[in-house]
Amino acid sequence: MKEKVIVCRCEDVTEDEIVEAIQSGATTLEELKRILRVGMGPCQGRTCGPILVSLLARELNKNPKEIEQWNKRPPLKPVHMKIFVEE
């Protein structure tokens, strides 16, 4: 049996799932994020982002530099709601 390779630890997504999404038409990080929730975990893609870029590049036969970066969403690092509420 082929070993499962976890690419996004926060959202528990494997290499196979990512490759399948790319083969069924995803060409950007934004799309992968929407389809598989990769990069949407507590690390906000800091861990899996570079691997996703290289998987996209490999599957699409592109240079990793050609892969569009994802939109950076505030607040960039998780923040507790209470910092907005308490003085």
Partner 1 sequence: MNNNYEVAIIGGGIIGMATAYYLSKKGIKLVVIEKGYIGSGSTGRCIGGIRQQFSNHTTIHLMKQNIELFSQMEDEFGFNVEFYRGGYLLLAHEKKMEQEFIENIKIQRKEKINVSLLSPDDIKKLVPHINTDGIISGAFCPDDGQAFPFAVLRGYKKIITENRGDFLLRKEVVKLNKNKIFSITLEDGTKIEAEKVLLSTGPWTRELGEKVGLDLPLYAERHEAMITERMPKFFEPMIVDYRSDGCYFHQLINGQVIGCYTPVPNVPGIREDASFEFLPNIAWRMTRLVPSLKNASVLRHWGGCYTMTPDGNPVLDESEIEGLYVASGMSGHGFMFGPAMGKHLSKFIVEGKWGMDFKDFSINRSFKINSEHLK
Residues that bind partner 1 (CB under 8 A): 25-26, 28, 30-31, 34-35, 40-42, 44, 73-75, 78-82, 84-86
Token pair in block for residue 58: 């490999």
Q: Which amino acid does the sequence have at 57?
A: A
38 binds, among partner 1, ligand FES, none (CB under 5 to 8 A by kind): ligand FES
Which residues contribute to the site for ligand FES (CB under 6 A)? 8-11, 38-41, 43, 45, 47-48
Of 26 and 55, the one with the shorter C-beta distance to partner 1 is 26
Residue 82 CA to residue 16 CA, distance in Å, equals 39
List 4's β-bridge partners, or say none: none
Burial class of residue 10 (count of CB atoms within 10 Å of its CB; 0-12, 13-18, 19+): middle
Chain centroid, CA 12 distance in Å: 11
Residue 52 interaction partner, one of partner 1, ligand FES, none, beta carbon < 5-8 Å per kind: none
Given ligand FES, partner 1, none, residue 59, with its beta carbon under 5 to 8 Å by kind, binds none
